[in-house]
Structures are given as structure tokens and as C-alpha cells.
Amino acid sequence: MIESGRLRRALLGTTATVVLATALVGVAPTAVAADARSQQWYLDAMRAEDIWKKATGAGITVAVIDTGVDPDTASLKGKVLKGWDASEAKGEETDDYRGHGTTIAEVIVGSGAQGGLRGLAPDAKVIPYRVSDTELQNEQAVNALDMAEAIKAAADSDAQIINVSMSSDYYSEEGREAVQYAHAKGKLIFAGSGNNAQEGNKKQYPASYPEVVAVAATTSDGVVADYSQHGEAIDIAAPGSRIPGYCNESLTKYCSSEGTSFSAAIASASAALIWSAHPDWTGSQVLRAMFESAARSDDWKPGTVSTYLGHGIVRPNAHISRGEGKPGDANISPLTNEPTGTATGGASSSPDATSTAPSATASTQAPDGKSTSGAPVAGSTESAAADADGGSSTGLVIGIAAAVVVVLAGAGFVLARRRRSA
């Protein structure tokens, strides 16, 4: 699982070459904001403005385990709590060495100020946990145990939701123990399923651990993206193509990006919205409502899940505005069908921006294995944004019908099941 003493791990967001916004410094904020916001097609498709009238993510905290999060971007000011650098590389958790973690944080909670991205759950907070990717591991000495230790630290923090937009090729007992620990404490863990469907489609971790919500990527047509990995691990899907993201660590401009990094972030934000609307619910209830309200086509077979889209495409407005999706048993996980922790949104109060760092538990966790070294850039669709709210039979629902054709062609449905054991 270790190559030359180093963990191999990949980011799940790839950056295309099309620059969406000019440099943020010295440019009229309104001009940049209009350009960047216009590229966030998924917010309009998901009817975010309608959702925000009822729920904004207030009171919910998301742990972002990634390349670091810069709290000083205009869109993140006041939204980033004290975190922890698990990587032990140069710098700290606020030093984003790729620009990836800051993008993910903005996708989840960004205010949209001065040209920044508008987050789907703009009143939620984030706690950054910095871990290493393959390139950083090759550049300098790092903590080989950082991913498992970061997950455990996040589990011990005030975060109700843990977002991991990184992946590794190999299962490890240590990584599994870390997510089991978080799951037992009632946390919801979302991870991208991976971007290498056309290059082997190998299972990715932590997404493929039974206790983690594996998120696939969809296009603006509502169909599964051709780079998005598939299989029985998939639990749900979310938009992942043509998403604005920082081009690099300079954090000065956005480029068109794609990958299950963004799908995981949008799923995490969707959970934050639902949880903020029901702060007395447990994570299991939030996730069950997400599964039951997800967008599916009319010919989706009862009692089955798709190996491409899981339970369907996230649709928080369907629950928040119309009550679709019931919470069910507070103590039974819809992932494992077994008892889990019962922490609620209200139980973990959202700390302020000056809170102390969550303590990292002492750990002998080994690294989470090797990862692929890159992801193919899939061709993005050119249609207008689909109706991700799934109203009537238009927009996303039509797109899903097309996705179902693709899925059926590959025998892409399995019986709804208790998640696989390791």
C-alpha cells in the first residue's frame, strides 16, 4: 500500500484550461462575480434561491479534508474555523498548496463576495484538515498517516459532516477503522467516487468503505459523467461537470473544472441544508431523506439502486420545499442497516471562527494506500442547466431517463442491499 515509503493519493477535481474569471486582484468585483456566478449552473438547476428562503446551512459545520483552506478569500471570510494540518508538510491548514481545498470549501459555504463562488449552504461553516496528495508527497516529507488521522480528528470535532474530495486505490484496515470511528459517532462522511471510469474503474477509498457515502458525478444534462466511477459502492450522485474552481494555488482566477470532488462537496452541502432545517435529526435521518428525495426516472426499478447514480441525484429542494423523503429510524444507518451514533445538528454547536483546533487523537493508523495519478477530462455537455429540483417531468428527470438507458445497457441496477462488508 506504500510506494517508496509514501502514500499515493489523488485529488478528484480536474481543471480544464478555460479561464472563467480574470484575476480577482485589481478587477471590479461585480464584473468577476457576475462571470463566476453565471458558471454555477447547478445552483440555478437546484433552485438554490428557493431553498435559501427556508434553509441555508446555519448551525452546521463541515470538515473539509483536503489540500488546505485559505480563510482569507473574500468568499470564505468568517466561515473557516480553526483546523489542523495532518500532513506535517511546510505550512499549516490555511496554506492551500493546490487551490483545491479552498475551491471545495467555497462550493460548500462560499458567500460569493467579490467574485468568489457562492456555496450551496452559504451559512454553514468549515473546519479545514490538510492532508497530502501524491505531488506533495514527492516534493517533501509528510505524515504518512495523515488521512486516517484527519478523519479521526474530524470525528472528534464539532463538524457534523466530513467531506473528502480525495481518493486512494487501495483498501486499508486503518482507513476503514477511521471511518468506522466517525460513523459510530454519528458523522456523515461524503467522498468522491473517483474520476477514472474509463481507465479501469477501480474502487476508490475512502468512498468505497461501507460507512462512507460514495458520490458519483453528473453533467448539466442530468446524466452520469463518463469519467465518474461506478459500481455497487455508489450511493448517490450530484453535479460534477463544468464547475468553476481555482486554477491553482495562487487563488487568483477560476477555471472550468470537473470531477467527483465537486459532486462530493455539493452532496455535503445538500446534507448541511437538510440538517439545518431539522437540527434535531441524526445523520442517519438526514441521509435517508436525501436518498428518498433524490431524483430518479419513472422506470427506475422499485427496490433497486443504480451502480451509476446510487439512489439518484441529490435534490435538497424536493425535501426542503415539498417534504419528499422521510427521516425514518434515528438510530439505523441507511448505509449499513446497523445501529450508529445519534449526534444531531443541534448537539454539535457550531463554533465561532476563533475556536480552538479540534484535537487529533493519538493514532497508529497506516496510510490509506495508493491512488491513481490523475483523471481524464471528460467532454462536458453543452445544454442549458437541467432542472435539478426534479419538478414535473422536465429538466433533470428527463436527463435521468437518458441516464437510465446508459445504466441499463451496462446492467447498472442492483437490488437495494445492506452495504458490502469488507
**Residue numbers annotated as active site:** 66, 100, 261
Residue 48 backbone phi and psi in degrees, to 5? -60, -40
State whether residue 106 is helix, strand or coil: helix
Run of H or E residues at 84: strand 84-85
Asked whether the beta carbons of 113 and 77 are under 8 A apart, the reply is yes
Cα–Cα distance measured from residue 100 to residue 121, given in angstroms and rounded to the nearest whole number: 18
Say how many Å lie between the first and final Cα of the chain, rounded: 16
SS3 letters across 224-287: ECCCCCCCCCEEEEEECCCEEEECCCCCCCEEEEECHHHHHHHHHHHHHHHHHHCCCCEHHHHH
Half-sphere exposure (CA, 13 Å, Cβ side) for 351? 18
- Order of strands, sheet of 61-66, starting from the edge strand that comes earlier in the sequence: 84-85, 125-130, 61-66, 161-164, 188-192, 213-218, 234-239
Beta bridge partners of 189: 162
Q: What is the Cα 63 distance to its own chain's centre? A: 10
Cα–Cα distance measured from residue 165 to residue 156, given in angstroms and rounded to the nearest whole number: 20
Cα–Cα distance measured from residue 295 to residue 315, given in angstroms and rounded to the nearest whole number: 6
Hey, what's the cell of 408? 441499463
Asked whether the beta carbons of 110 and 335 are under 8 A apart, the reply is no
Supply the DSSP symbol for 114: G
Beta bridge partners of 111: 118
Residue 150 backbone phi and psi in degrees, to 5? -65, -40
Asked whether the beta carbons of 100 and 261 are under 8 A apart, the reply is yes
